[in-house]
Structure 1
């Protein structure tokens, strides 16, 4: 079988965009350091406008600032410094432009940001030599309909969530897949997760971990008022429809960053987007090694420090 994503590929970037977590001094320092290094190597550097505007250093005045549309039109690659939240925002903003993304982790877990800050400059050798491995990640496209009219839409790389609002009452909804009725459920809500999002909110709700190359979408109930409702894995070719039957206060969330208030009788329609995201991984990257590290699999119990009391 032909490898879907070859290890080496044609990659000769001339313009690199830098995107960082807003209002973070540490991120500003890393961005400045990386920008100078890329400039030294003869590349054109552009900095995402809000990132540069929130930076504390006047040094950012030396580099051109662009909004995401400008980055999408000009950049050959975008390097994202921060955590998964920063990467999620960049992915949604740049999905229409097919700009590959590289993640430098300065957040917490960093499931999508492969490169440690300490390895950032050294990693540029392999990146610019075309040794990074491309991987395609699917996106969800969600639309909200009210009275037959579309009132909201968004892309999501991790998940689309329909859930209760701050009042805390259960919501009731019907689930349809390809126009076929599946069930009616009273619960806190439902997570519709991509393979990328399977290690995010869905994981906390006992959803399955999906390898990124699995062509599936997970439907994970949130605190169902039932003993038998369990996560369901469906094809990414299916269209998912959530029909709100009773909800005093409910919302739709897209990657936990974009929200929309829902009403009774609203319909949330979710399908795989025609757009996708390309992540670039450094040489030696392994999805399962990443899981072992981030989720602390196979670790032995820690030895108690001197003076701690433990069981005999």
Structure 2
């Protein structure tokens, strides 16, 4: 690799100190490296802009936690460029390295000693009266839950257009294997090898004796049908990777399936997934 670009969470890389160290190191190796600078007019919570990144970039180095890397995967999806996660956050399940080891990792990239880890993504489509309201991709999960008053919501679950069950719960999480270590884990879901291709459904605080997660094939489509609310002022929302929020009403349908796109992460760390999980939990 010769051409790099650095994107950082400004709240975790204050004054761009880490970004500059990485840029200087890469430049000293005789390679090129740019740094993404947040425009004050833009939303400061948006750390990436695909239009600002040169088309010949071979690797985007993302500094931050998992949230920063997920946002970068979403915003830069159209570039089809692999991401190197550098953890300067808390857990960092998705990151390949950290600031202590980032320079040795860059050495491996320059020598082309790395793998590309492709992660399955989800496409979520919200429809109302058979009209598409929105469609978004998600790397981790699509979450449907209540918003506002403390009242459970009711929804039907269909798989490939066949009725499965009805939940009375705070909501439901449809995640990828990558997302199994995120919100789904907190809701009692299983941890799954992140390269596995599947859909994982985990109910959130269900009012039921059966609160187990269900795993579906990668080619299945899960549909959530929002049922009539007994409280007119109850709000329910659909969230994509915790970043994009859409309000839904009774009768709306959320169809979730495997996306055509994949996220590409650079892997140099030889630690197994189980070792990483053991060290993080």
Query: Is residue 2:104 matched to residue 1:127?
Result: no
Q: 1 or 2, which has the higher helix percentage?
A: 1
TM-score (norm 2): 0.91
Aligned residue among 182, 187, 206 for 2:188: 206
CA distance in 1, matches of 2:39, 2:116: 25
CA distance in 2, matches of 1:74, 1:146: 41
TM-score (norm 1): 0.82
Tell me the residue number matched to 1:264: 250
Query: Is residue 2:55 matched to residue 1:73?
Result: yes
Structure 1 residue 232: Cα displacement = 0.3
List 4+ stretches of structure 1 deviating above 3 A.
23-27, 51-54
Structure 1 residue 126: Cα displacement = 0.8
Structure 1 residue 67: Cα displacement = 2.8
Alignment of 1:1-312 (within 5 A): 13-26=1-14, 28-50=16-38, 67-71=49-53, 73-247=55-229, 248-295=234-281
5+ residue gaps, structure 2: 43-47
CA distance in 2, matches of 1:23, 1:206: 30
CA distance in 2, matches of 1:72, 1:184: 48
Q: Report the number of matched residues.
A: 273
CA distance in 1, matches of 2:91, 2:166: 35
Structure 1 residue 25: Cα displacement = 4.2
Q: Is the 8 A contact 1:192 1:220 kept in 2?
A: yes
Structure 1 residue 87: Cα displacement = 0.3
Larger Rg: 1
5+ residue gaps, structure 1: 1-12, 55-65, 296-312
Q: Is the 8 A contact 1:192 1:217 kept in 2?
A: yes
Q: 1:293 to 1:173 in 2, by over 3 A?
A: same
Q: Is the 8 A contact 2:118 2:263 kept in 1?
A: yes
Tell me the residue number matched to 2:45: none
CA distance in 2, matches of 1:196, 1:84: 11
Structure 1 residue 283: Cα displacement = 4.2
CA distance in 1, matches of 2:238, 2:54: 27
